[in-house]
Amino acid sequence: ASERARRARTRAADQPRNSLGVFTAATGAVEVISRVRSFEFPSEAGHLLAYHLEPDSGAAATPAARPATAAQAAGQQPAPRRGTPGTTLVLRDLRSGQEVRIEEVTAFAMDDSARWLAYTVTSREADNDGAFLRNLSTGAVTTLLGGSGAYAALTFDRAGRQLEIG
């Protein structure tokens, strides 16, 4: 049905959305999480789940739909158009149910041992853009690259010791 809707070129808001199902073996319950763009389990730590949400259909998706800034209201020229802000990345510990939400994420990757989460941010505020590394055991975040930029794909080496930012 999803592929059929895309072929019919329906409006994006009317197309079916991807969902993620999380099965809990102890209870037999299935939780369905809507609007999931992608997800990842590290191969050596199956209790951690990271999933990246699609944009909220009610969110301002275009610069014209956003409120005017103070500079624009004063008649000044707007800043050059920036990329679309990222969306929410959710880290969930499936054992405890605890979640951490990271806003405006555009790309992410976990190393196989679940020691590190790398992610990039495209924010509504250019100063918040960057590439970041989160220690998954402590929650400490290190800025790898900061400021306005075009941060895209992330790849860990097999050992989880090196990260490539494309």
- What is the reported pLDDT for 61? 41
| Segment 97-121, tens digit of pLDDT | 899 999 999 999 998 888 899 999 9
Asked if 73 and 92 count as a contact pair (C-beta separation under 8 A), the reply is no
- What is the reported pLDDT for 7? 61
- What is the reported pLDDT for 67? 44
Rounded to a whole number of angstroms, the distance between the first and last alpha carbons of the chain is 34
The strand pairing partners of 89, in sequence order, are: 52, 102
- Residue 165's nearest CA partner among 74, 54, 155 is 155
Integer Cα distance of 7 and 135 in angstroms: 42
Positions of the chain with pLDDT under 50: 59-81
Integer Cα distance of 33 and 18 in angstroms: 9
Q: Which helix (H) or strand (E) holds 141?
A: strand 141-146
